[in-house]
Amino acid sequence: MDDAHAVVVGAGIGGLSAALALHRRGWRVTVLERAAEPREIGAGLTLMANALHGLDALGLGPAVRRDGAEAPGGIRDRQGRWLSRVDGAEMIRQLGTAALGVHRTTLHRTLREALPGSVLRTSAEVEHVESGPDRAEVRYRGADGPHTLTADLVVGADGLRSRVRAQLFPRHPGPVYAGSTTWRAAIAFPEPVPAAISWGPGAEFGMVPLGDGQLYWYGALNAPAGGHAPDELAALRKHFGGWHAPIPAILAATAPGVVLRHDIHYLAEPLPSYARGRVALLGDAAHAMTPNLGQGAGQAIEDAVVLGAVCADGAEGVPAALAAYDGQRRPRSQAIARAAHTAGRYGQQLRNPFAVAARNTALRLTPGRAALRGMARYADWRPPAG
């Protein structure tokens, strides 16, 4: 391959996956990250089968599985009664792999370490991206002042509040508040815990083992945007303290300083395209979704694998390759974003006691195989051949 050069904006899970996918196809890659230290915020993550197949295609499946814990999952009510439970063995049979709980920091490090050290430039805030007929240009501000790079391909993987998206689609309204706020932490919790989410009216508590006695938990509540409590953990204990075991014990084992609180934002208005000329959007920059299906990072990893595949021929025909990327990625990721939003409305956000009772009864009556088929609609994805 000639010296095809790609600039990736943002070193989150999406940007690093894209960099790795392109690097493995022979591209010279530069990743520009505005943070001084590359890092990943948000405790833990569930990787569904599609995400793991994507990581397999990037050569990282074994490392990621070694550092995580299988998390088949299920749904309970706040008293702890199972409403629906996934059979782990059946999941592996249908989807080829189990879902996995991983620490975000570990996944991020694994992705970073798979790339040559020279690829990543930190304290590099991208200010402007422009796509020309033959080359694209990226202007960024480094610690030592402004710089300009030229590239055959630019990947906007700069997250929820993507500047690259705003430049490509200046009239797009950007992310909106989904009506829920979340608290998250990864803690030491040696007691074995089944991966599960538990629902009460307008509330959800999730727990995901990460292996080695570590546990990722989160709580989500309907709430106005921008809220803060003087003591977030105390507020959470007040809400979830009466829920089923081991939720009170998990909260008791959590130190106040490790709890993160974030409002949930998403792209309510889908983008008309994930590509313009030589610039592609990827991950949350393209399709930030609510977390209710545990698919945001999974979709970013799928994007990266497909981007690598369509760009396998190098700098030749990048705009056509990106049109193919858009065609393969937009319908699926936007359908999953819609489904995630619906899952949130009928799951965590549902408040009306009659509606909650009806939903819980329907879930209890749904056979496990049907529940797994529902999950497989999103998780059953394989990387393109070749």
**Residue 297 lies near ligand FAD (rule: CB under 6 A):** yes
For ligand FAD, the closer of residues 305 and 314 by Cβ is 305
CA distance 164 to 73: 36
Distance of alpha carbon 70 from the chain centroid: 18
CB of 367 to ligand FAD, least distance (A): 25
Rounded (10°) CA dihedral 63, 64, 66, 69: 180
**Residue 72 lies near ligand FAD (rule: CB under 6 A):** no
CB of 293 to ligand FAD, least distance (A): 8
CB of 42 to ligand FAD, least distance (A): 6
CB of 357 to ligand FAD, least distance (A): 27
Given candidates 106, 181, 292, 295, which one binds ligand FAD under the rule CB under 6 A? 295
Given candidates 15, 179, 219, 347, which one binds ligand FAD under the rule CB under 6 A? 15
Structure tokens that stand for 192 in this block: 């074995």
Taking a C-beta distance cutoff of 8 angstroms, is the pair 307, 22 a contact?
yes
**Residue 163 lies near ligand FAD (rule: CB under 6 A):** yes
**Residue 204 lies near ligand FAD (rule: CB under 6 A):** no
CB of 221 to ligand FAD, least distance (A): 12
**Residue 115 lies near ligand FAD (rule: CB under 6 A):** no
**Residue 137 lies near ligand FAD (rule: CB under 6 A):** no
Given candidates 4, 6, 11, 102, which one binds ligand FAD under the rule CB under 6 A? 11
Given candidates 5, 7, 8, 14, which one binds ligand FAD under the rule CB under 6 A? 14
Query: How many residues at the interface with ligand FAD, by CB under 6 A?
Result: 35
Instruction: Select the span of 32-40, 86-94, 221-229, 269-277 touching ligand FAD (CB under 6 A).
Output: 32-40
For ligand FAD, the closer of residues 10 and 246 by Cβ is 10
- What does each C-alpha distance from 204 to 77, 243, 264, 350 come to in angstroms? 9, 10, 14, 10
CB of 107 to ligand FAD, least distance (A): 9
For ligand FAD, the closer of residues 285 and 356 by Cβ is 285
CB of 184 to ligand FAD, least distance (A): 6
Site for ligand FAD in 164-193 (CB under 6 A): 182
CB of 338 to ligand FAD, least distance (A): 15
Given candidates 54, 73, 209, 298, which one binds ligand FAD under the rule CB under 6 A? 298
Given candidates 7, 23, 30, 33, which one binds ligand FAD under the rule CB under 6 A? 33
**Using CB under 6 A as the criterion, which residues of the chain lie in contact with ligand FAD when the complex forms?**
9-15, 32-35, 42, 45-46, 51, 125-126, 157-160, 163, 182, 262, 264, 283-285, 291, 294-298, 300
